[in-house]
Chains A and B, each alone.
Chain A
Amino acid sequence: MKTPIRNVATEMTDNELDRLLTLASKPPIASDAQRTLLARIAADKPATQIGNVVNFPIAAKKSSPVASPIGWLAALPLAASLAAGIWLGAAGQGTDYLFSVSDELASLTDSVDTLTGIDDAESLMEEDLT
């Protein structure tokens, strides 16, 4: 592979490039440029200015809740029921009003046939037919 021939006469150093860059044109700043900009801003309606925070209208403060008389009336039977339960329980009379669990069990006297599996199927079908 051939090495490219270097032209030492025209090869430029960093220092030379920096010097040549000083020849570049300087940006012309129009004397009224800032004034024009400020005039555009002055003409800009304040409403167009945007913020990251959006101000929502503040809602009227809610008054503190007042207890409704209907609510109290609805609670009265519940409170009375609770009080009666406590009183009956304390007096030992509550059991008179409860079902006896043993009586309930005793009432379940219907015999339950014990199924023995597929062998019963035939007899059961016969029963249905008859």
Chain B
Amino acid sequence: MNLQTLHQPTDAVLLAAAARQDHSAFSTLVGRYYDLVHRVVWRTTNGHADAADIAQEAFLRLWKNPAQVREAKALKGWLMRVASNLAMDRFRHRPLQDIEDAGEVADTRPNAEQLLTSQWAASTVDRAIAQLPERQRLALSLVHFEQLSNGDAAAIMEVSVVALESLLARARRSLKEMLAAEKHNLLASLNHEES
């Protein structure tokens, strides 16, 4: 922990100030958590254009009623929970589009040149993730991409740790099945990137 970290105000201090409509304090909170919340929403919505709007909506709700967060140390989890719920609610009755027009990739058999591009590899993996049920996708996003512990992710999703582990296991099994056919090409692409 460096000196700068020591002098940073805690979430509790910032939240209390935000409750007094202190824009500066709230701005610090936004800077601290916006990117994280946006990433989770972006993955939950398969990179939908509304991701930024949904992330902002979560922060607006916090601004309008900071007292909703009963424990300041749970603020990060609260923001992610609200944002992911907003994302799932918004698209509950509307099918999501795949990330970056993945449909184009689905209809085109990649040639040898495209196989070497990271764009193709990213689209293939993105498409597989996009095909997961939303709760499996959210579990994967929180644990794999955001490196949260199973306990924290379970708390955000309001499920038991066992249920979260089940979601993760099913997500990983599905991904293995979906990516199995392109496994060698994808690994080759990865090796090419790494070399």
| Interchain CB contact under 8 A, B187 and A33 | no
Main secondary structure of the interface of B (DSSP, over half): helix
> Given that A33-B52, A38-B23, A40-B60 are known contacts, is A25 also in contact with B179, CB under 8 Å in the complex?
no
Please measure, in the bound complex, the distance between the C-alpha atom of A20 and the C-alpha atom of B127, giving whole angstroms.
12
> Given that A20-B186, A24-B129 are known contacts, is A42 also in contact with B34, CB under 8 Å in the complex?
no
Interface-lining segment among B61-69, B78-86, B150-158 = B61-69
Interface string of B1-40 (1 = CB under 8 A from A): 0000000000000000001010100110011001100110
> Given that A23-B121, A34-B30, A38-B27 are known contacts, is A10 also in contact with B64, CB under 8 Å in the complex?
no
Please measure, in the bound complex, the distance between the C-alpha atom of A17 and the C-alpha atom of B175, giving whole angstroms.
8
Interface residues in A1-36 by Cβ distance below 8 A to B read 7, 10-12, 14, 16-25, 27, 29-30, 33-34, 36
Contact residue among B27, B179, B189 (Cβ-Cβ distance under 8 Å from A17)? B179
| Interchain CB contact under 8 A, B121 and A21 | no
Q: Is A95 an interface residue (CB 8 A)?
A: no
Residue of A whose beta carbon sits closest to that of B119? A25
Residues of B that sit less than 8 Å from A by CB:
19, 21, 23, 26-27, 30-31, 34-35, 38-39, 42-43, 47, 51-52, 55-56, 59-60, 63-65, 67, 99-100, 118, 121-126, 129, 144-145, 172, 175-176, 179-181, 183-184, 186-187, 189-190, 193
6 closest A-B pairs by beta carbon, nearest first, are A27-B42, A10-B180, A52-B67, A12-B176, A50-B65, A23-B121
